[in-house]
Amino acid sequence: MSRLEKSYVFLKNRYSKESLFLLFAICLLPIHFWAVIRAFNNISWLINRSELDGAISYVFYALDFAFLESILVFLFIFQLSLLVTIRWEKYKLTTIIATLFLLITSFAIFIQYYQYMNFNNKNEPLDIFIKTLYPGNPLRAQLVFIIFLITILILLVGGIILILDRFEKICGLILEFYNRLSVLAFLFLLLDAVGLIVIIFRNIM
């Protein structure tokens, strides 16, 4: 077998078309949800500044950027998943990778929220927690906090892999949930396509 044929067989053993699309959909959804939430956060002052058509166009620009981001993130996750040596069945591999991605997304949202609280000087509970750990040594306290977060992450990753590998029923239920969720991805893809047409129209006309 040539190298190309070997690669094709390798990929075919890992993913089917449906499972690849499902993974893409799971990558796409949180990125688009975040983009829409953030875009609508700006809508009221954008309408004031740029009229309604400008504000709506801004949402489309945000969605199309989210689409580009989704593709890049999906490709990255896909590449990483090829390094997994455990021979899971296709549906199990997709479910585990997708769940781990959603876990990372939750952390990303947590970090964003933490920065927001920091910006508005509302991080007192976390600040107090950090200061209590090592009073008088904030740098050490922050380092310990980061190590604590990483530890939690590793435990969660390990836990997810263990549960989904051992318990077929749970894995099946989660997969079913993702399948239903992936319908939303079609809606976002449609909006992205409409957005692209609007962008082209606005910049050419």
Q: What mask, x for binding another protein by CB under 8 A, covers residues 11 to 30? A: -------------------x
Number of residues that bind another protein (CB under 8 A): 37
Does residue 44 touch another protein according to CB under 8 A? no
Among 1, 17, 119, 180, binds another protein (CB under 8 A): 119
Of 8-16, 109-117, 135-143, 187-195, the window that binds another protein (rule: CB under 8 A) is: 109-117
Does residue 81 touch another protein according to CB under 8 A? no
> How many H-runs (helices) and E-runs (strands) does the chain carry?
7, 0
Residue 29 in contact with residue 105, Cβ under 8 Å?
no
Of 13-21, 87-95, 103-111, 127-135, the window that binds another protein (rule: CB under 8 A) is: 103-111
Exposure letters 61-77 (e unless 16+ CB within 10 A, then b):
bbbbebbebbeebbeeb
Least Å from the CB of residue 107 to another protein? 11
Among 43, 109, 156, 189, binds another protein (CB under 8 A): 109
Exposure letters 25-57 (e unless 16+ CB within 10 A, then b):
bbbbbbbbebbbeebeeeeeebeeeeeeeebbb
